[in-house]
Structure 1
Amino acid sequence: MGRKLDDVLEGLGDATDLAGLTAAVYEMRDCYDVEHLVYHSVKSSGDQWAALTYDPTWVEDYTRNNLQTIDPVVLACFNRFTPVDWKRLDWSSRPARALLGEAVASGLGNQGFSLPIHGPSGHFAVFTVNHCSGDESWARFTGAHLNEILLAAHYINERALLIEGVGRGPNPSLSPRETDALTLLAAGRSRAQAAETLRISEHTLRVYIESARFKLGGTNTTHAVANALARGLICL
């Protein structure tokens, strides 16, 4: 799957519009052999933009009724930078339960895993993998593919920003955890040491690093650290 996924990511460079981005999302879904893959962008103005494999009728209903305002997935992702497992969210409210029931009835799987992406100029997006499976098999899948999904999410988002014509702001704002992660790496700590210092897993550390890299426009982690130092966002 790795080689095929690499081919899909490389092919993203040919996507010049929403149709091209959507085609790449479909190919990526097939690589992971899951029910659905979604890139959902919510702009600061409230406008939505998406490349996804959901049933168009469900998407139209979701958009028309502004369901993102009550969707526990979107609300959770908006307030954090780490991955969101749908099963760990609070679906106890009546609107949330109704939303989940309608989603499953519309062909969404019973499992979901979403990655929040916070970018320039108030840009916010969610990248989701959705599937039908038992809890144990889903935990194995997400555990095995978290890093790949994280990178795929940012590649898709970067391409989407280019298509939308959204530029990176000159002074990105890093979260405290992103700042801590880059500071430790700049000080020469390994990822394992940085994760231990912050008392988080290496998987979670990578989420912070990749989010910071994207905000800073870094081609890799070293480049992101250099940009952060040059802009005075981290100090040693």
Structure 2
Amino acid sequence: MRNGLNTFLSNLESVTRLDQIQDLIVGLRDELAVDHVIYHWISVDGQQYGFGTYDPTWAQRYQDMDYIRVDPVVLGCFQRFHPVDWKRLDWTSRAARAFRAESLTYQVGNQGYSVPIRGPNGQFALFSLSRSCSDEDWDDFIATHQRDVIVLAHYLNAKALQLENHRTPDPVKPLSPREVDALTFLAMGYSRGQAADMLAISEHTLRDYIESARLKLGAANIVHAVARALTEGLILTGGAARDDPGGWPGRLRDPLVATG
């Protein structure tokens, strides 16, 4: 892969338009002998774009069905800074199982590996590989190519930022202490009712804080708001609350599951 990596990076350096990257991605897929290579950008306003080798019908359905809200790869990677093997994500919910089953009908692959990428001002992207194979073969593949894949991910993201600089997100507005509290409890896995009780406010008031925070963060929905607040380091996921010297009970649980 080393020669292939050097060739890809050299070709990437000479790219001047985003559409040219698509051809490089197809070549990279063939070089790595995987089923798919995908680069997926999620902007702060909830818009998605990218390039890759998925069936265009699946890519369109993903957007039409708003699968970003249930995709364990996206939800899991929002709270991680290190590469993630899809096997180690939480696929136990009914929505996640249905999503996975449908994705397999589009030959997405039963194995996958994603590199979360954080860019300037809260930019978030994923670089993913997938393939249909056994656990043993996939583990061998990742052990062999992990370092190169990480390098590829970050160089690709840097080129995308360079070519699409008008998409670079605006800096987020600061959150109020109560907005921070509300989003933090949601990120910890508490329901809205539980969060309201712990903050000694009504659910109606809690919704006002959440909606205000969402607008400040430029997020499309609450899941996106919590994810961006985590990415920006604006909220806590454990330790002591601002008004509670005894600290919050529990610890960070299933990311974003209870935020809907």
Common fold, TM-score beyond 0.5? yes
What's the CA shift for 1:138? 0.5
- For structure 1, which runs of at least 5 residues remain unmatched after alignment? 171-236
CA distance in 2, matches of 1:104, 1:15: 32
Counterpart residue number, 1:111 = 111
What's the CA shift for 1:13? 2.0
Counterpart residue number, 1:19 = 19
- If you compute each CA radius of gyration, which structure gives the higher value, 1 or 2? 2
CA change 1:15–1:89 in 2 (3 A) is same
Does residue 91 of structure 2 align to residue 91 of structure 1? Answer: yes
Kept in 2: contact 1:5–1:31 (CA 8 A):
no
Counterpart residue number, 1:102 = 102
CA distance in 2, matches of 1:17, 1:160: 9
CA distance in 2, matches of 1:46, 1:168: 11
Does residue 28 of structure 2 align to residue 47 of structure 1? Answer: no
Does residue 52 of structure 2 align to residue 57 of structure 1? Answer: no
What's the CA shift for 1:14? 2.7
Counterpart residue number, 1:121 = 121
Counterpart residue number, 2:140 = 140
- For structure 2, which runs of at least 5 residues remain unmatched after alignment? 172-260
Counterpart residue number, 2:80 = 80
The CA RMSD measured in Å over matched residues stands at 1.6
Q: State percent identity of aligned pairs.
A: 42
> Residue 155 of structure 2 aligns to which amino acid in structure 1?
Y
Counterpart residue number, 1:31 = 31
Superposed structure 1 runs of 4+ greater than 3 Å apart: 166-170
CA distance in 2, matches of 1:105, 1:167: 34
Count of matched residue positions in the alignment of Structure 1 and Structure 2: 170
What's the CA shift for 1:24? 1.3
> Residue 43 of structure 1 aligns to which amino acid in structure 2?
S
Kept in 2: contact 1:25–1:37 (CA 8 A):
yes
CA distance in 2, matches of 1:6, 1:30: 15
CA distance in 2, matches of 1:9, 1:169: 29
CA distance in 1, matches of 2:122, 2:141: 31
Kept in 2: contact 1:119–1:168 (CA 8 A):
no
Kept in 2: contact 1:120–1:169 (CA 8 A):
no
> Residue 21 of structure 1 aligns to which amino acid in structure 2?
I
CA distance in 2, matches of 1:169, 1:68: 22
Does residue 180 of structure 2 align to residue 159 of structure 1? Answer: no
CA change 1:60–1:3 in 2 (3 A) is same
> Residue 42 of structure 1 aligns to which amino acid in structure 2?
I
What's the CA shift for 1:2? 1.6
Kept in 2: contact 1:39–1:52 (CA 8 A):
yes
What's the CA shift for 1:19? 1.4
CA distance in 2, matches of 1:109, 1:89: 15
Task: Tell me the TM-score normalised to structure 2 length.
Answer: 0.63
> Residue 150 of structure 1 aligns to which amino acid in structure 2?
I
CA change 1:36–1:169 in 2 (3 A) is same
Task: Tell me the TM-score normalised to structure 1 length.
Answer: 0.69
CA distance in 2, matches of 1:59, 1:168: 23
Kept in 2: contact 1:110–1:133 (CA 8 A):
yes
Task: Name the SS for the 1:19 alignment partner.
Answer: helix
What's the CA shift for 1:10? 0.7
What's the CA shift for 1:167? 5.8
CA change 1:7–1:168 in 2 (3 A) is farther
Counterpart residue number, 2:232 = none
CA distance in 2, matches of 1:106, 1:89: 20
CA distance in 2, matches of 1:25, 1:2: 16
Kept in 2: contact 1:109–1:130 (CA 8 A):
yes
